[in-house]
Structure 1
Amino acid sequence: MGSLELLRGADSRLMGLVSTLAASDLERPSPCSGWSVRSMLSHTVATIDAFATAVDGLGGPTEAELFSGSDILGSNWQGVAEQSINRSQRAWATVTDWDKPVTTLLGSMPAGQAIGIVTYSTLIHSWDLAAAIDQPVEFDASEVALAEAVGSQLVPGGRPGGLFGPEVALGADASPTQRVVAFAGRNPL
């Protein structure tokens, strides 16, 4: 499965979960320490916009805004998420050279690496959202492979700054999805 297809699948899962949210769900705690569903979803949508900016140049959140958890959803969380995802899909669909450098909040990197990071973020935060609202999520084999590859590069460097918690120890019977989220510091049990 290609980069764009993986992103589309992650975005689709996120929108499927967002479409089930009631206003009261937004105030539930998320697996992201100290963040409600609203603040975690605001961060997720802001991340999608930040990476779309790397391709379409239309502007997006600053690093401080991205990690503030400030509400960008208002009363139309589904519309805001959908608008961001649609923008992202349009932007990434224009990429023809995945080796071409793009400038992200994380610095310059090949477009293929950038789309991998935003897909990883969307996968992990979709799991966070699903866990917060008690809906099971399992990643498919392609999503697990992407998450393992991107996570192994991204997560260790993010732990000292508190972007990811320590890896959660799991038993040998853990599912591939459980292993992926445990590596990112979430407790899937």
Structure 2
Amino acid sequence: MDIRRLDRQALLLTGEMVSRVKTDHLRLATPCADWTLYGLLRHLVCQNEGFAASARGAGEPWAVWRDGDLGGEPAAAYEASADEVTAAFAEDDVLERRFALPEVGEGFAVPGRIAIGFHLLDYVVHAWDIAVTIGAPWEPDAELTAAALRVAALVPDEGRGAGAAFRRRIAVPDDAPPGERLLALLGRDPSWTPAPC
């Protein structure tokens, strides 16, 4: 599996969703209970900047994961951060480097190949969060969905719940489409809809 190529696809998928966001969407609630759409977009920029720093050996300080700024153009901020993380992930030997991921735990680090898989998963699923919030279609291709499913299956049940990165898994039928199974593995209800205004 070419994890870097697939990660770029995930960034493009999310970028397509971000490009559809209008100013009046930014205050909407999202499936991520703690975030409005503005907060979710800021999270995406922060994550790109944090993963880029971590790829270059500077991901331990919390500040590099929290300083993302949307400015007045969220789509432009997202694209700049996506370019930054793509460039960092393209560096030689990045798949073998140790990535610090302080959000998982103090001192926690994994090889680049695994870290980039986490990043891919985050962006495929957050693309759905944006899409369902603004009423846009979410259509990752089969290869990208399959890759995200493989990573999602590795996320442990420990540490899930309110306020954590993932909620508890949701049961869906065995024959549910792959996208729905992916969402359910991460505790997202595939039938979620925005609350009426």
Shorter-chain TM-score: what band?
0.7 to 0.9
1:98 aligns with 2:120: no
The amino acid that maps onto 1:136 is P
1:183 aligns with 2:185: yes
SS at match of 1:145: helix
Contact 1:15 1:81 in 2 (8 A): yes
Q: Structure 1 residues 28, 71: CA separation in 2 closer, same or farther (over 3 Å shift)?
A: farther
SS at match of 1:102: strand
In 2: Cα distance, 1:90 partner to 1:51 partner? 11
1:36 aligns with 2:53: no
Structural RMSD (CA)? 2.4
In 1: Cα distance, 2:160 partner to 2:92 partner? 31
Q: CA deviation at 1:162?
A: 2.5
Write the deviation string for residues 12-34 of structure 1: whole angstroms up to 9, x where unpaired. Answer: 11111111111011111111113
Answer 1 or 2: which has greater helix percent: 1
Contact 1:30 1:37 in 2 (8 A): yes
Contact 1:26 1:37 in 2 (8 A): yes
Q: Structure 1 residues 149, 99: CA separation in 2 closer, same or farther (over 3 Å shift)?
A: same
Contact 1:155 1:164 in 2 (8 A): no
In 2: Cα distance, 1:58 partner to 1:65 partner? 11
In 1: Cα distance, 2:159 partner to 2:131 partner? 23
Deviates more, 1:71-80 or 1:2-11: 71-80
**Which residue in the other structure is 1:11 paired with?**
11
Work out the percentage of aligned pairs sharing the same amino acid.
28
* Structure 2: 5+ residue stretches without partners: 192-197
**Which residue in the other structure is 2:173 paired with?**
171
Contact 2:54 2:101 in 1 (8 A): yes
- The count of residues paired between Structure 1 and Structure 2 equals 186
Give the TM-score taking structure 1 as reference length. 0.86
Q: Structure 1 residues 8, 71: CA separation in 2 closer, same or farther (over 3 Å shift)?
A: closer
Give the TM-score taking structure 2 as reference length. 0.83
